Structure 1
Amino acid sequence: MARRVFYSFHYQPDNWRVSQVRNIGAIEGNKPTSDNDWETVTKGGDKAIEKWIADQMHGRSCIVVLIGAETAGRKWINHEIIEGWNAGKGVLGVHIHGLKGVDGKTSSKGANPFDHITYGTGGKKLSSIVKVYDPPYTSSTDVYDHIKKNLESWIEKAIEIRGAN
Structure 2
Amino acid sequence: MVRRVFFSFHYQRDIVRVNQIRNLPEIIDESAAGFKDSSLWEDAKKKSDNAVKKLIDDGLIGTSVTVVCIGNQTSGRKFINYEIQKSIDRGNGILGVQIHDLKNFSGEVDTAGSAPYLLTKNNYPIYKYINHIKLKEWIETAAKAAGK
Q: What is the TM-score of this pair, normalised by structure 2?
A: 0.89
SS of the residue 1:117 aligns to: helix
Q: Determine the structure 1 residue equivalent to 2:11.
A: 11
TM-fit CA distance, 1:117 = 2.3
Q: Determine the structure 2 residue equivalent to 1:69.
A: 72
User: How much identity, in percent, do the aligned residues show?
Assistant: 40
For residues 72-98 of structure 1, give each alpha carbon's deviation from its aligned partner in whole angstroms, at most 9, with x where no partner exists.
142211110110011100000100011
Number of equivalences? 145
Given the alignment, which residue of 38, 41, 56 partners 2:41?
38
Cα RMSD of the aligned pairs, angstroms, is 1.9
- CA distance in 1 between counterparts of 2:79 and 2:100 reads 20
Point out 4+ residue stretches in structure 1 off by more than 4 angstroms.
Answer: none
Q: Determine the structure 2 residue equivalent to 1:131.
A: 125
- CA distance in 2 between counterparts of 1:75 and 1:163 reads 29
**Is the alpha carbon distance of 1:58 and 1:154 closer, same or farther for their aligned partners in structure 2, counting shifts above 3 Å?**
same
TM-fit CA distance, 1:52 = 0.8
Given the alignment, which residue of 132, 137, 146 partners 1:153?
137
TM-fit CA distance, 1:34 = 3.0
For residues 1-42 of structure 1, give each alpha carbon's deviation from its aligned partner in whole angstroms, at most 9, with x where no partner exists.
321100000011101101111112332212643332222111
Letter in 2 for 1:117: L
SS of the residue 1:108 aligns to: coil
Question: Max radius of gyration: which structure?
Answer: 1
Letter in 1 for 2:127: Y
Letter in 2 for 1:38: W
SS of the residue 1:93 aligns to: strand
Q: What is the TM-score of this pair, normalised by structure 1?
A: 0.80
Q: Determine the structure 1 residue equivalent to 2:95.
A: 92
Q: Determine the structure 2 residue equivalent to 1:142.
A: none
